[in-house]
Chain A
Amino acid sequence: MQVLTPDSASWQLAPDTRPLPMSILFAILFYLATLVFVVGLLYRIGVYTRTPAPLKIPTTPAPTTTGGVVLRMAREVLFFESLFKSNLWTWGLGMLFHASLALVLLRHLRYFTEPVWAWVAFIQPFGKYAGITLLLGAAGLWARRLFVERIRYISTPSDHLMLALFFVIAISGLMMTFVAHPDVVAVKGYFLGLMSFNWQALPSSAGLYVHLLMVAALLMIFPISKLLHAPGVFFSPSRNQTDNPREKRHIAAWAKQLESES
């Protein structure tokens, strides 16, 4: 299925062979990054969950039932409904970027599952090209940031760096898919090994190193950056509250306290 370069063939090590320094470094890095990602994200979600929303502030017109709110949220998350109302360019580019990202991420499941699930196998060819559309989407968003005066004004260096990070990840990924193929079987073995604490060797490939390094960086940045918009959207009171303030009394614990004081 994949072309094995002579270079990568030499990395087909027996399980009992000790992995080389790079393999160890990346193993540590990925354990660390995963830990930061999971713990950081859970912590954030915990904070959002614990912080009360004392007043009913859905942006109306808003659904009056929980089912309606679920639908509203689904439309926001799957189709970026509000963004669609707002700006078709940003919506189109954003959809392209995120849909591609979703496909690319799902495609990567093949590195973590054995045997590969049928639907993951099915999306492989699409996922391959999603890498290109991901890049196009990100490029379009970046162009907006650079050339639209208002958006340039609000951009911080980190906004540009974030896009740069996706660029590097996408380009290094595409290079491996279409140009210099590393030994993906070994890569898979490496990640399956990480997951079962049975370390394997990682093929040596500059492209792969860059790709993995940036992905680890992304994982660690996630819980402390604007990428929190992904969990955040589910906690946004203006979107997730039912519009029934007259029918049901809504009161936060700290606000209830005021009633016993007075």
Chain B
Amino acid sequence: MADIAAPAYRIIPIIPALKPGAMEGVRSFVANEKIQEAIGFPGQLVEDWHDRAIARMGELLGKYRSLKVYMDACVHCGACSDKCHYFIGTQDPKNMPVARQDLMRSVYRRYFTLPGKLFPKLVGARDLTREVLDEWYTYFYQCSECRRCSVFCPYGIDTAEVTMAAREILDSVGYGQKYSNEIIGKVHKIGNNLGLPGPALKDTLEGLEEDVKEDTGFDVRFPLDVKGAEVLLITPSADFFAEPHIDGLIGYAKVFHATGTSWTLSSMASEAGNFGMFIGNYEQLRKVALRIREAALELGVKRIVVGECGHAWRVAYSFWNTLTGVGEGADPNDRFAQMLQKQLDHRYRQPSHVCEFTWDMIQDERLTFDKSANDKYIITFHDSCNVARGSSMGGYPGGQFDIPRNIIKAVANHFVEMSPETTHEKTFCCGGGGGLLTDDLLDLRVKGSLPRMEVLQQVADEQGVNFMACICAICKAQFTKIMPIYGFDRRMVGGVHQLVSNAIKLGNK
């Protein structure tokens, strides 16, 4: 894909003019039979897809209040229409959040509302034809489920919920996406998204111990499957070998080492990511998450800590308690959840984000840093959208913004904010989230990162920013791939715990 170029920065970030059809040809690869069947979906588009799709839609409307209310409530006010990074980058009107929802809403109106049944043209209702189904596939795989639109909608309509429902319907009729569904298959079979088997993981971790020893002179451990450890660390599998992710993993290990915390990784649950969320399938979401419950029960850990990953933290923070019982406050007669919750130590938040863990330790003065180790960097922070808009930290609203920034400021001297229109809950997605981090969508990914790159360029030019920290494995992978296309050095992006790793003093507590 040599022809993929970065779109030009907008001089003043005005709302782009529409280019209908600009992205209709950009479609991620469709899953083959093997991939689909491995996770229980029909191998290919079924004969009676029309009826089954409508039936599935009806079922989802009855199971998810979000979908039902969102289908009804939109007034077409257009407040969300210029808020999506994919619309800004591609100018395709179907990438406006409301237009994306309307791809489904038009069908909803036709089959589930009286005016749509009687006067389809009047209310913009359409039959579910093969063209419509294809359009769904195209544009619902051009949404990273980042929820930016939901911040701005007067009713909080979250296009991510609609996208998830659409993908679920598509999967149920045998029209799945190769990238996401293949990965889910790997988790079930091997335990992580990258298909890294236990023995390979063991080798990798041993290699890391040697590297860190060489680097620092300290015996920092990377334990695997240690029964009775206090902390079980669940982290995205990219942390085990992708760059710059691995530097973050080293950072976590150093924090555990310096605070004398006994911890372990699990070969059964060697993945924090959960693509079940991306495809909107509750059963898959749950099944993937259950590995963590099993590992926690088997290893008998007291605490569960989650590494740097945006959507994984959303799933962990917002959904784990529901899906697996990792959390607290289950009904006394809820045996499923109580079984695990009795084991966990409720003096701590369950699960905790590794940033919460590190920040607590910093506040308890159990960590010391040489901040000058990060002096070569002028650092800014990209709020990963799943953390920003789908989760929290620290037990108060907005903790998810403060805590990573607090850590950066504790370990480095130079910190700069990007434009407030693009941070905190208004942050822009990196352009690669939600099951779109695949090379067949590179064109979309490059265009979708435009709004983030614009403001990064601004702080790079004006304040000399040369490092963008984030706490998401997908953001890291996406940025290292697309930043060179925008003329940045790929090493400019890294994790918060990479900065921690640089500055942490291992010798004296």
Chain B residues near A156 (CB-CB < 8 A): 76, 122-124
Q: Is the CB of B318 within 8 A of A55?
A: yes
The CA-CA distance from A261 to B325 in the complex, in Å, is 16
The CA-CA distance from A144 to B75 in the complex, in Å, is 13
Q: Is the CB of B77 within 8 A of A90?
A: yes
Q: Is the CB of A159 within 8 A of B18?
A: no
Q: Is the CB of B77 within 8 A of A83?
A: yes
Chain B residues near A157 (CB-CB < 8 A): 121-124
Chain B residues near A5 (CB-CB < 8 A): none
Chain B residues near A151 (CB-CB < 8 A): 76-78, 81
Interface residues in B72-114 by Cβ distance below 8 A to A read: 72-83, 93, 96, 98-99, 102, 113-114
Report if A225 contacts B (CB, 8 A): yes
Report if B390 contacts A (CB, 8 A): yes
Chain A residues near B65 (CB-CB < 8 A): 48, 51-53, 235, 237
The CA-CA distance from A85 to B337 in the complex, in Å, is 39
Question: Who on chain B is nearest to A155 by CB?
Answer: B76
The CA-CA distance from A86 to B97 in the complex, in Å, is 13
Question: Who on chain A is nearest to B349 by CB?
Answer: A246
Report if A255 contacts B (CB, 8 A): yes
Q: Is the CB of B156 within 8 A of A150?
A: no
- Tell me the minimal C-beta distance from B476 to chain A in angstroms: 22
Q: Is the CB of B154 within 8 A of A76?
A: yes
Chain A residues near B154 (CB-CB < 8 A): 76, 80, 82-83, 86, 94, 229, 233
- Tell me the minimal C-beta distance from A180 to chain B in angstroms: 32
Q: Is the CB of A55 within 8 A of B351?
A: no
- Encoded as 1 (CB less than 8 Å from any A CB) or 0, chain B from 1 to 38 comes to 00000000000000101100000000000000000000
Q: Is the CB of A224 within 8 A of B397?
A: no
Q: Is the CB of A150 within 8 A of B18?
A: yes
Q: Is the CB of B83 within 8 A of A86?
A: yes
Known: A90-B77, A158-B122, A161-B122. A60 touches B115 (CB 8 A): no
Q: Is the CB of A82 within 8 A of B153?
A: yes
Chain B residues near A144 (CB-CB < 8 A): 78
Q: Is the CB of B158 within 8 A of A158?
A: no
- Encoded as 1 (CB less than 8 Å from any A CB) or 0, chain B from 44 to 64 comes to 000000000000000001111
Say which residue of A55, A60, A224, A229 sits within 8 Å of B114 (CB atoms). A224
- Encoded as 1 (CB less than 8 Å from any B CB) or 0, chain A from 18 to 59 comes to 000000000000000000000000001001100111111101
Chain A residues near B395 (CB-CB < 8 A): 64
Say which residue of B93, B114, B319 sits within 8 Å of A245 (CB atoms). B319
Q: Is the CB of B156 within 8 A of A59?
A: yes
Q: Is the CB of B68 within 8 A of A48?
A: yes
- Encoded as 1 (CB less than 8 Å from any B CB) or 0, chain A from 50 to 90 comes to 01111111011111100010000000100010110111001
Report if B241 contacts A (CB, 8 A): no
Known: A51-B65, A156-B76, A254-B63. A150 touches B350 (CB 8 A): no
Q: Is the CB of A61 within 8 A of B319?
A: no
- Tell me the minimal C-beta distance from A133 to chain B in angstroms: 19
Interface size class of A (residues with CB under 8 A): 35 or more
Say which residue of A86, A229, A233, A248 sits within 8 Å of B152 (CB atoms). A86
Most buried by A among B115, B336, B350: B336
- Encoded as 1 (CB less than 8 Å from any B CB) or 0, chain A from 250 to 262 comes to 1110110011001
Most buried by A among B15, B150, B318, B426: B318
Report if A226 contacts B (CB, 8 A): yes
Chain A residues near B400 (CB-CB < 8 A): 60-61
Q: Is the CB of B286 within 8 A of A154?
A: no
Q: Is the CB of A57 within 8 A of B161?
A: yes
Q: Is the CB of B328 within 8 A of A57?
A: no
Q: Is the CB of B321 within 8 A of A60?
A: no
Q: Is the CB of B68 within 8 A of A154?
A: no
- Tell me the minimal C-beta distance from B392 to chain A in angstroms: 5
Report if B168 contacts A (CB, 8 A): no
- Tell me the minimal C-beta distance from A42 to chain B in angstroms: 15
The CA-CA distance from A71 to B113 in the complex, in Å, is 33
Chain B residues near A61 (CB-CB < 8 A): 392, 397-398, 400-401, 425
Q: Is the CB of B334 within 8 A of A60?
A: no
- Encoded as 1 (CB less than 8 Å from any A CB) or 0, chain B from 362 to 381 comes to 00000000000000000000
Report if A107 contacts B (CB, 8 A): no
The CA-CA distance from A86 to B153 in the complex, in Å, is 8
The CA-CA distance from A62 to B321 in the complex, in Å, is 18
The CA-CA distance from A47 to B72 in the complex, in Å, is 12
Question: Who on chain A is nearest to B338 by CB?
Answer: A249
- Tell me the minimal C-beta distance from B330 to chain A in angstroms: 4
Report if B155 contacts A (CB, 8 A): yes
- Encoded as 1 (CB less than 8 Å from any A CB) or 0, chain B from 271 to 300 comes to 000000000001100100010000000000
- Tell me the minimal C-beta distance from B288 to chain A in angstroms: 14
The CA-CA distance from A153 to B426 in the complex, in Å, is 25
- Tell me the minimal C-beta distance from A232 to chain B in angstroms: 3
Question: Who on chain B is nearest to A243 by CB?
Answer: B392
Interface residues in B341-396 by Cβ distance below 8 A to A read: 349-351, 388-392, 395-396
The CA-CA distance from A247 to B124 in the complex, in Å, is 43
- Tell me the minimal C-beta distance from A214 to chain B in angstroms: 17
A residues in contact (CB < 8 Å) with B: 44, 47-48, 51-57, 59-64, 68, 76, 80, 82-83, 85-87, 90, 94, 144, 148-151, 153-159, 161, 224-226, 228-229, 232-233, 235-239, 243-252, 254-255, 258-259, 262
18 inter-chain pairs at a CB distance below 8 angstroms, sorted by A residue, are A51-B64, A54-B63, A60-B392, A62-B397, A64-B397, A87-B79, A94-B154, A151-B78, A153-B18, A154-B98, A226-B74, A232-B73, A236-B66, A237-B66, A237-B156, A246-B317, A247-B328, A262-B290
B residues in contact (CB < 8 Å) with A: 15, 17-18, 61-66, 68-70, 72-83, 93, 96, 98-99, 102, 113-115, 121-124, 147, 150-158, 161, 282-283, 286, 290, 317-319, 321-322, 325, 327-331, 334, 336-337, 349-351, 388-392, 395-398, 400-401, 425-426
